Amino acid sequence: MKQIIGVHHAHEQHWVGDGFPVRTLFSYQSMGEELSPFLMLDYASPTRFPPATTAKGVGPHPHRGFETVTIVYEGELAHKDSAGNSGAIGPGDVQWMTAGAGILHEEMHSAKFTQQGGMLSMAQLWVNLPAAQKMTPPGYQAIEAEQIPTIQLENDQGTARLIAGDYAGLSGPANTRTAMQVWDLQIKKGAVISLPAPNHWNAALAVLQGEVETDKGLAGDASLIVFSRAGNGIEVSTSQDSHALFLSGEPIPEPMVGYGPFVMNTKAEITQAIDDFNGGQLGRLD
């Protein structure tokens, strides 16, 4: 089994735009190597928004060199990007966007959610691309909840939705550029579960809500458990009903340089990304 090498707690909340109060469980600045190919995870815990006449969210902004994965738990988001993709995702849905060579997009509360108000809860994961694919054309996968297979964990200890990766003859619908597993877990109180993660893959369990016991202390709401690369699989136990994201993936053994919404391999490539954005070469939103 992989060993737990750290438990991190995201206590501070900040706003992304005016629509998403999030806590950052990890980022490429702090754990880029330990969690490769994963770059960042923001979690917006359940928050009530009153009805409004103007949509809240994040207006047009750029990305280059990686992918964004948005998972909605409550509420509804509207997406629009410079590659011509648009649409809304609701509870259980996933939006997997490949920024690649560069894209502009906006993420807003949908018109319906804005008008009605209600609870909003979501997570956004950033996934790195290898150097050979950083300048790939932008892409977009709209994954509906019904497309995501759900499996029962052993001894009826909970469920796992396979967003990406394979298990028990089932495959998650996300088309990934490198080998990884992204599972959305609901784990019952008192469970002791084992999850597969190959030797030399990075692995982490993001506890969104609930409580997981470790030999390095309790991991409560908005906590991250980081495991060693060595060893096959992970094992954890819960002291409360828990909602978690299980992340494991084959590391990308390349230099990584990040600056805000751009993640490349060299400083020169970051400079080029900024110049391209300022020059309008990352497209436009109509």
Q: Which residues pair with 203 in a beta bridge?
A: 227, 248
Of the two residues 108 and 286, the one the predictor is more confident about is: 108
Amino acid at 97: M
Q: How many CB atoms are closer than 10 A to CB 274? A: 16
**What are the structure tokens assigned to 235, written together?**
């094992």
The whole model's pTM is what?
0.97
Nearest to 77 by CA among 27, 28, 14, 123: 123
Name every residue whose Cβ is closer than 8 Å to that of residue 77 and which is 6 or more positions away in sequence.
57, 70, 88, 89, 95, 107, 108, 109, 110, 113, 122
Average pLDDT value for residue range 76-95: 96
Q: What is the pLDDT of residue 285?
A: 86
Nearest to 269 by CA among 75, 134, 84: 134
C-alpha of 240 from chain center: 23
| pLDDT tens digit sequence for 124-143 | 999 999 999 999 999 999 99
Q: What is the mean pLDDT of the chain?
A: 97
Q: How many CB atoms are closer than 10 A to CB 286? A: 6
Q: What is the pLDDT of residue 247?
A: 98
| pLDDT tens digit sequence for 196-218 | 999 999 999 999 999 999 999 99
The sheet that has 66-74: what strands, in order across it? 14-16, 20-26, 38-49, 118-128, 66-74, 94-98, 139-143
